[in-house]
Chain A
Amino acid sequence: MEKIGLYIHIPFCHSKCAYCDFSSYAIGNAQNENAINRYIRALSNEMDLYEETLRNVEIETLFIGGGTPTCIDGKYIHEMINHLKKISNISETVEVTIESNPGTITNEKLDHYLSAGINRFSMGLQTTDNALLSSIGRIHDFNTFVTSFRAIREAGIKNINVDIMFGLPGQTLENLHHTLDTLIELSPEHISAYALKLEEGTPMYEAEKKGLIHMPDEDLERTMYHIIIEVLKKSGYNQYEISNFSKKGFESRHNLVYWKNKPYLGLGLAAHSKMEQVRFSNETIMSRYLEKIENGEKPVIDQVVISEREDLFETIILGLRLNEGLDIQKINERYGIDFYSDNEDIINSLRHQGLVQMTDDNLKLTLKGIDLSNQVFLAFMND
């Protein structure tokens, strides 16, 4: 039976962060039960629409992302997972992650999550500096984070990821060191570190355009990144992907599905899927998403059949993100090609520029190659 990753999108947040351009709706503190109810029902219905698919695959990983899935009542998540279990085959060793934001976790919710089988939490800390947190529109402060983190631990969760951000306007190296040191003390199993990128249409993008905030320059931003790699390495976190670090054996299995270009199904508003060489994505407008599902129709808007060539390119650019690099032997088997001889000139030129290296039978990015990864990806792109 084919193994897949399943993604479920919960597009609700207490309030929207100033840099966020994901599909999510701010529901504020007054919970809009009707809207949430209707959406959760739609999600279950969407699962039913994929029942035939789900019966024929095994779910290896489940990721409930958002938005902030933990901002809605725990019973919704519980019911939804129960429904999924009824119509699909879930692996014995399934990894079930829920994205959560500090301050949205209660003991009651934790009970629901644990009984539903959630065994991994992903928490958005971003930084320990309260002033910076509020400047990027986060609603929590550092103490709230610690409280939530401990509560999750005490509930018995042994696999926690914490997201941090660097390259924030006004962020200093001291601040970054403080964030890392504090976090390491809490000892999460997994840490993701993302550079802030301003997306058009977000409040921070506008603020930057007006000169109200200033992004750190490339040099400072890269220095921060290099510090993160170094400090985490010393503390026993292995970098296994450009932005991801973990203690041994705690790599995110769900994200590995994406990076290894394996099949995944995305349910919910604006979710993306790749099943059997077809990439497709869902409606991004809530009313249309609901309407289609309520009419018994899959809410798909975009559907692209991926050619072998494109699939290979995707495998390359995704695989190179991993520190183990591309396993050339596996690529050759998967695509029936001789990857090295087909790309010898490109590889040699990239090696010459210090962007990639070959170890054993793997092609990997160097640190410089990570900083300039687009240059590597472009080199492999077909004309």
Chain B
Amino acid sequence: MASERQKYIRNFSIIAHIDHGKSTLADRLIEKTGLLTQREMKDQILDSMDLERERGITIKLQTTRLVYKANDGHEYVLNLIDTPGHVDFTYEVSRSLAACEGAVLVVDATQGVEAQTLANVHLADEQGLTIVPVLNKIDLPSSRPAEIIAEIEEVIGIIAEDAPQISAKDGTNIEGVLEKIIADVPHPEGDEDAPLKALIFDSYYDSYKGAVAFVRIMEGSVKKGDKILMMASDKKFEVVEVGISVPTPLAVPELRAGDVGYITASIKNVKDCRVGDTITHAAKPTDHALPGYKKATSMVYCGIYPAEGESYDEIRDALEKLQLNDAALSFEPETSVALGFGFRCGFLGLLHLEIIQQRIDREFDLDIIATAPSVIYRVTKNDGEVLMIQNPSNLPPLTEIQMMEEPIVKANIIVPNEYVGNIMDLCQNRRGDMIHMDYLDPKRVVLHYELPLNEVIYDFFDALKSKTRGYGSLDYDFLEYRQSDLVKLDVLLNKDLVDAFSMIVHRTKAESRGRLICERLKEVIPRQMFVIPIQAAVGSKVIARETISAMRKDVLAKCYGGDISRKKKLLEKQKEGKKKMRQLGNVEVPQQAFLSVLKFEE
């Protein structure tokens, strides 16, 4: 039986395919409910990291509490729990959804259902959430609300006939969304007097408050001074503060069943505040912990090393700090012959990897070198020992290997039908197997493929976008390990093997990739004082070669009327450039070289 208070609470997330307008809608909801005046609004306030705003995506979820006076005359508390919008972050989406009763599904009225629309609906279904469809971008002349409604009903199987038709951009019919949430999303239930049962759906580290847990109170209540127990980690703490996110933290006296808020308890170690854990009262614990979450599994690995002049310790500190907010990031120390001491880092996917690299650069101002990304290969040795290989350098000699297996993903690719041919070529080229193909509507097709993950992590998404003029969308899920004829492709620079460039590839791909890498490196490595051979090799067999000829000339222009300061400036610039180079053996390699080997599509 819900309390009177609970009847006026709605907990919901917004889910959407990337670029369908999720963050813009969130902003409008905040604006509409008068939480902030328009003047105080930064665009897309929920995407608080600069990087998120720049890329137009949400990486780290945020929650905010809205207060809305509905047409029925009552005031409602709406807790909006934001979700990340990219295929890499499925795991975080499911976390947020577990704290809600409903999900607003934003569909772009010009684009229709996309790969992540389906993936996200699937996640919401799994959580048993009520889905509230909303058609966005109806201000655009190319919007087709009637067709898209039919598509949602047909493809997703939910009624969309009375879905609010809105424009988040210019604020049209935002009220319709709010009313619909109140009408359709069930209010929370849960006994407010039962023992405390709270789900941690997110956490972050604050240097003053310690670990901060974002919680959904399922049963009972919690207030300052309560002794709490983290059920999985079995650690006890005393609550320092409870509060709500508006979206800046605001302390409140108490959180009760149905509420969404945060708890701080001087938790020094973020590991004691694990996402998915259940918080209860130490003295009067609940009988059963909540089911929790699966741990996020890293799918993609790469080495991260300090660039010339950066320190290993600073990189470690940065990774540790990032991990506090991003449990999906894993890392451990490793050593490279070419690059020295660094870390092997695990990521949810390639976007996650890029984002972490950029955050290290922007938030910590550190120059790093990232090695070629790799998936985890399962290697069975002749003696029966099974190894999981994340770093190509750790691959045992081929003579000791009985069998190698690589991860395969199940990919759903949605494209306009005129691009089907292009995408079939792309997938074929990436060793994909087509399982089947469905028409979403007369113009759009879903291609179901099984693809090796190691083909997906190398700029597959970019290639998909460029081959479909930006209209293609992709979603994938791990399927299984499959035996494969794989080899280690090595790169030798001036006859020295550079382990940071090594990668595991399918045997049929070794030669073309080797050739491409040699060509790319020749383009980006500047001429030096001596001739530099670049070779790609499998085992001891060289399969591709390029040569960088020796520098013939490196001089300053004519000195005019004693203007030596200009010459010195030019030399200083040259010196700066040199400093940023990485010394591999006696070859100076620009940072760019490490990136250039990752892109395969022309």
Q: Spell out A's residues near B (CB within 8 Å).
A: 7, 9, 22, 65, 194-195, 197, 199, 218-219, 221-222, 242-243, 258, 264, 266, 270-274, 279, 281, 302, 304, 313-314, 317-318, 353, 370-375, 377-378, 381
Contacts and interface: CB of A to CB of B under 8 A. Distances in A.
B287 interface: no
B1 interface: no
B553 A222 contact: yes
Given A375-B529, A378-B571, A378-B574, A22 B556 contact: no
Contact of B555 (A9, A22, A373): A373
Nearest to A221: B553
A195 B560 CA distance: 14
Nearest to B578: A378
Residue of A218, A302, A304 with most partner-chain B CB within 10 A? A218
B564 A374 contact: no
Contact of B552 (A271, A318, A371): A371
A270 B565 CA distance: 13
A279 B564 contact: yes
Contacts of A375: 529, 554
Contact of B565 (A218, A279, A381): A279
Contacts of A377: 556, 571
Given A218-B553, A372-B551, A197 B558 contact: yes
Contacts of A195: 555, 557
Contacts of B575: 378, 381
B575 to A, nearest CB: 6
- B interface, by DSSP: helix, strand, loop or mixed? loop
Q: Which among A221, A222, A270, A375 has the greatest number of chain B C-beta atoms within 10 A?
A: A375
A375 B528 CA distance: 10
Given A313-B568, A372-B529, A381-B571, 18 more contacts: A65-B561, A194-B557, A194-B558, A195-B555, A222-B553, A258-B559, A258-B564, A272-B562, A272-B564, A273-B562, A279-B564, A281-B565, A314-B564, A317-B571, A371-B552, A371-B555, A372-B555, A381-B572
B574 A374 contact: yes
Nearest to A9: B561
A274 B562 contact: yes
Interface in B557-596: 557-565, 567-568, 571-572, 574-575, 578
A23 to B, nearest CB: 9
Contacts of B571: 317, 374, 377-378, 381
A197 B557 contact: yes
A273 B557 CA distance: 19
A19 B595 CA distance: 36
A313 B552 CA distance: 24
Contacts of A370: 555
A308 B567 CA distance: 18
A304 B563 CA distance: 13
B569 to A, nearest CB: 11
Contacts of B553: 218, 221-222, 371-372
Interface pairs A-B: 5 shortest CB-CB: A197-B557, A374-B554, A218-B552, A272-B562, A372-B554
A264 B556 contact: no
Contact of A272 (B529, B561, B578): B561
B563 A281 contact: yes
A7 B564 CA distance: 14
A381 B567 CA distance: 12
Contacts of A7: 561-562
30 contacts: A7-B561, A22-B560, A65-B561, A195-B557, A197-B557, A199-B557, A218-B551, A221-B552, A222-B553, A266-B561, A266-B562, A270-B561, A272-B561, A272-B564, A273-B562, A281-B563, A304-B565, A313-B568, A317-B567, A371-B554, A372-B529, A372-B551, A372-B554, A372-B555, A374-B554, A374-B571, A375-B529, A377-B571, A378-B571, A381-B571
A310 B574 CA distance: 17
A302 B565 contact: yes
A222 B553 CA distance: 7
A374 B562 contact: no
A202 B213 CA distance: 61
A242 B554 CA distance: 13
A244 to B, nearest CB: 11
B561 A271 contact: yes
Contacts of A218: 551-553
B554 A373 contact: yes
Given A372-B529, A378-B578, A219 B562 contact: no
Contacts of B554: 371-375
